[in-house]
Amino acid sequence: MVSRQPRRTIAKTSRSAKTRKPAPESEARSGGPTRVAIVGGGIAALTAAFELTRPELRGQYDVTVYQMGWRLGGKGASSRGASDRIEEHGLHLWMGFYENAFRLMRECYAELPPLPGKRRFADWQDAFTPAEHIGLSDRGPTGAWEFWLAHFPAGKGLPGDPIEDHDPFTVSSYLRQSAVLLSELIRSAQTQPDASPDRLMRYGALAGTAAAFEATDFLRQALETWMPSALRAGSPVLLRLIESLAATARRSLEQLVSGDTELRRTWQVIDVILASLRGATIHGLAFDPRGFDALNELDSREWLRMNGASEQSLDSDFMRGLYDLVFGFENGDTERPRLAAGVALRGTMRMFFTYRGALFWRMSAGMGEIVFSPLYEVLDQRGVRFEFFHRLRNVRLAVPVKGEPASVEALEFDVQARVNGGAEYRPLKTIRGVPCWPAGPDYGQLEDGATMAREGRNFESHWESRNAGELAVRVGKDFDFVVLGVSIGSIPHVARELIDREPKWRDMVSRVKTVPTQAFQLWMRDDVQTLGWQRPQVNLSGFVEPFSTWADMRHLIRHEGWKKRPKAIAYFCGVLLDRAPEDGAITAKHYEEERVAVRRTAIDFLNRDVGALWPGARDGRGGFRWDLLVSDGGAPAAREAGEGRFDTQFWTANVNPSDRYVLSLPGSIRYRLSPLDLSFDNLTIAGDWTQTGLDSGCIESATMSGMLAAHALSQQPPLHAIIGYDHP
Amino acid sequence: MTPPRRKRPVPPRDHPNRGNGMTGRPGPYAGNNGGAPLGDPAELALRIAKAAESTVVGGIRTARKIVETSETTVFDAVERGVETAYTVIEEYMSRGRLAAGRHHQRHNGSSPMADKPPYTGGGASPFGPMGPFMEPWIATARMWAEAMSQLAPGGAAGGRNWMDQMMAAAPPWWGPAGALAPRLSYEVSSALPAEISATLDPAAYFGRLTVGALTPAGDATYPPIIDVGITSASGHVCVRVAVPDGQPTGDYSAQIQDDAGAKRGQVDLKLKTPAGAPAGGQ
């Protein structure tokens, strides 16, 4: 009988799976490579490893990566679960302006070692595909949900292409691009199914009136600027009249768009863009040496309000979509949207005006196998050592010496598990030509593996305390430099001495906040068209909180290993209300409570809300059709008829300190420390929580941080090669 | 003896250079270097202040005209400003309506140019039928752009540079920097030396234009020049005149009108006596 299960093999690279790379020299020496200990396996940490081991550096750096648990990826980790289904930490989309991240991946794919059999994603363009549609959701006049799909044309070039003879990161370039975007928004009218003359006329009126409004507003500013102050003071009526004129123009606009949802949405986007341009001009932002950072003490909506954006625009689906994109809700409270204005402005300018190829790119499979498997394979091939199952317990500082800068003396680890025979752990398994991360450790490689499998260890959790031994690596003996690449949520738990020693670190950990997130994934027997979604494959934001973001992931179906294939895969994600203990020490009990809460929220969401997206998913009583959910039938829940079938799906409560999303709150940005900071002369930091130039929680920011960390140790890559670092 | 502990190199800086990429300054990726140094902030502030002081563009110029009118009171100036602004609003609104109306007409198949893309007169507007609606945005963008470039350190020169680049990549009807008028060209066939010029209302290039026969100026009884045409495509207006052999020298003119019959401009033609020939008509 032929098995229908996909063939699985351990991914093989150029070295034997049982061969361990030689440890760095144990003796302190003046010559030889510089030994770098990188703690953490997220994108920032691995970028640092990638940069430090570039062939052109001729082996100057000997790198060891220490990672807790069995897999790399940090907040981008994903694994293959039952039926080889992809299970993510959350939803990950790449934006077309992620120049550094795409360049990293392009170089990584170009260097991939051969794989026995055919590699499914051998080229970066196999691994990433354009996602051209953005969906936003909003309640219409009747209170019913309405959905708006915006299509963004292909941007010139591809992300990661060399930037040669133009500079897209200037205020003037953004002004130029704004005209194109505004035009695109207006032009979208003609692509609508009901692009009737009446509609076109309304769009024409919108364009004209809005421009007149701007012209009037400009006149007002001009008078304020030019008119002698004495005259101005003596004639306040003049400015009042001009204000009145601007208000009249705005009123006509609002009358024009009221009752026409589509026109209203278009105007709201335009209003926000114009408010940004207005603010940049009025406040001389373009000439401020601080660049957009000058705004970071303000919330983005607050700043836009100051610059004339209407309340309707500030509460629009467009704005909510932007906040959703960065989980911009303090303490996970969706009633408290908070996002530093400068970070938001820089991010949106980069997002809309400098994307290449497509505004968004989706990964062709899980992030684990699209990003972290290739990075692992390439770094492994370059000779980087990976020490899995090493949980950092403490960064120990050297005894202070007067007149000497502070430095790290040792890194103290708990060894969570030991590999049989002292070999190096081989973490990947190949599924259908894709080296993947399994959902748990390969216990067969571990000492006491059978016991640990029975115990159901969760090596990535904060409370997991299994200790098969301890390891202290020491400066001069085992390493020269440290890249601390753990998440900022973990810093208070592993780097207390650094916080106590250095006030800047204390400020950073107290001001740079994180937030827990939640996500769930559904596999369904009907496709989304059958369920009532007749539009293209989409990533949609602004829907019902907290699961405000839906991604149609149908493209993953063929890469999973179902006996009977589902016809739809849907990911939902959002923030999670922060109920963590004050000290951030998450217990198993707390984690379980949060998982239960996420499950309940998801079930309620499906019963109550998702019908607005998929009318065909409603049962006769208006609840969710639980029979839609697909499982290969292994779990008892698979046989259940009601909401118990939800238990066959995947959901996650990202409450561990290392899992929490990094926020960019107003007033917090200046407390971020740069990887270039020299508070400790043999340590640098890496993560999207650092000062990266972008200063937001995203893959690009993490990549930039990794490059900065590499620069801090090796002066490579040069700072100007970090695209977007030197940005207004 | 234990060798000294290795220490990180001191980085040239520990923060991003936010000063690069400001309007009028080269960005960090404009060349192969890390961007021009920011310079002394105080000096920069002074330069900005000076640049701002000397700034007179777009709406600012308008404002100056309004307020500087010495013969009028401030109230008169305001009233004129308000009136002007309302006229602008009405003009923009009417353009939108006109464009949509023409679309409606074309939609119903009554257009003589129905085989060509609407609005463009056969030209290739990148915005298709929404082309006419785009102009206000472009005008607005231009206003912002000019203001920003004028305010930039170094003044308008640096700004004009990117404006020019923008224009190079812009739709043909975008027009030259600093003016909202369309591009004008002429095709004249004449046995006699001819000097031709045309004036156009600023809004003329939004609509379809017609031109009548070129009639002689004054009381002349010469025959008109009837082979006259005008095309307006995507902001590019072309006046075509074929002067028949034997046409008397002299001044001729014709009105340019829009769809509604309103005057939108004028064509003037001066037919001259060839060098060496006796002056005078006929």
Report A:174-203 residues touching B (Cβ under 8 A).
175-176, 178-179, 182-183, 186-187, 189-190, 197-198, 200-201, 203
What is residue A75's predicted lDDT score, i.e. its pLDDT? Answer: 96
Beta bridge partners of A557: none
Tokens linked to A338: 């908070």
Q: At residue B173, does pLDDT exceed 90?
A: no
Q: Which residue has better confidence, B28 or A656?
A: A656
3-state SS of A307-357? CCCCHHHHCCHHHHHHHHHCCCEHHHCCCCECCEHHHHHHHHHHHHHCCCE
- pTM for this one? 0.74
CB contact at 8 A, A139 and A146: yes
Write down the pLDDT at residue A140. 79
* Residue type (1 letter), A580: A
For residue A629, give the 3-state DSSP assignment: strand
Residue in A219, A277, A405 nearest the CB of B59: A219
Q: Which secondary-structure segment (H or E) carries B52?
A: helix B41-53
What pLDDT was estimated at residue B74?
41
Yes or no: say if A174 and A376 are a contact pair by the CB < 8 Å rule.
Answer: no
Query: What is the Cα–Cα distance from B131 to B120, expressed in whole angstroms?
Result: 8
Handedness of CA A31, A376, A66, B16 (dihedral sign): positive
A242/B67 touch (CB, cutoff 8 Å), yes or no: no
Question: How far from each other are the two terminal CA atoms of chain A, in whole angstroms?
Answer: 64
Distance of CA A200 to CAs A44, B65, B111, B127, Å?
Answer: 48, 36, 18, 13
The reply to whether A226 touches chain B by the CB within 8 Å rule is: yes
CB pairs under 8 A between A and B: 296
H helix runs in B152-280, sequence order: 156-169
Judging contacts by C-beta atoms under 8 Å, the chain B residues touching residue A715 are: 9, 11
Q: Do A281 and B148 touch (CB under 8 A)?
A: yes
From the list B10, B64, B134, the residue facing A226 with the nearest CB is: B64
Phi then psi dihedrals of residue B193, to 5 deg: -60, 135
Taking each continuous run of H as one helix and of E as one strand, the counts in chain B are: 5, 8
Backbone dihedral region for residue A356 (phi beyond 0: left; psi -120 to 50: alpha; all else: beta): beta
Distance CA B232, CA B210 (A): 9
The answer to whether A34 contacts chain B (CB < 8 Å) is: yes
Phi, psi for A331 (deg, rounded to 5): 60, 20
Q: Is the ipTM of this complex over 0.90?
A: no
Of A209, A212, A277, the CB nearest to B144: A277
Would you list the DSSP string of A560-575? S--SS--SEEEEEEEE
Q: What does the DSSP 8-state code read for residue A144?
A: -
Q: What is the pLDDT of residue A30?
A: 57
* pLDDT band at residue B213 under the 50/70/90 scheme: very high
Give the distance from CA B245 to its chain's centroid.
36
pLDDT higher at B21 or A266: A266
CB-closest option in B19, B48, B136 to A208: B136
Instruction: Report percent pLDDT > 70 for chain A.
Output: 82
From chain A, pick out residues whose CB is under 8 angstroms from the CB of B149. Answer: 172
pLDDT, greater one: B53 or A75: A75
pLDDT of A167 = 60
What is chain A's Cα-based Rg?
27
In the 8-state DSSP scheme, what is residue B154?
A: T
> Closest to B93 (Cβ–Cβ): which among A182, A208, A277?
A208
Mean pLDDT by 10 residues, chain A (728 residues): 33 43 54 94 98 96 98 97 95 94 98 91 96 86 85 84 70 61 55 57 60 55 47 48 59 73 79 75 67 92 88 89 92 95 92 88 97 98 97 96 91 97 95 95 96 92 91 96 97 97 97 97 97 93 93 95 94 96 86 97 97 95 94 68 92 96 97 97 98 96 98 95 90
8 Å CB contact between A524 and A613 = no
DSSP A28-63: --SSSPEEEEEE--SHHHHHHHHHHT-GGGTT-EEE
**Chain B, nearest residue to A270 by Cα:** B137
Q: Among all residues of chain B, which has the CA nearest to that of A716?
A: B11
Instruction: State how far the Cα of B19 lies from the Cα of A285, in Å rounded to an integer.
Output: 11
A262 or B9, greater pLDDT = B9
Q: What is the pLDDT of residue B234?
A: 53
What is the model's pLDDT at position B144?
Answer: 45
pLDDT in tens, B175-199: 232 333 456 788 999 999 999 988 8
Question: Helices (DSSP H) in A112-170: which residue ranges?
Answer: 124-127
Question: Which residues does A626 contact at the CB level (< 8 Å), separation at least 6?
Answer: A619, A640, A641, A642, A643, A644, A645, A646
Q: Give the pLDDT score at A583.
A: 80
Q: What is the amino acid identity at position A338? A: R
Any B CB within 8 A of A215 CB: yes
Query: Distance from A677 to chain B by nearest Cα, in Å?
Result: 6
Mutating which of B18, B107, B149 best tests the A interface, going by the most A Cβ atoms within 10 A?
B18
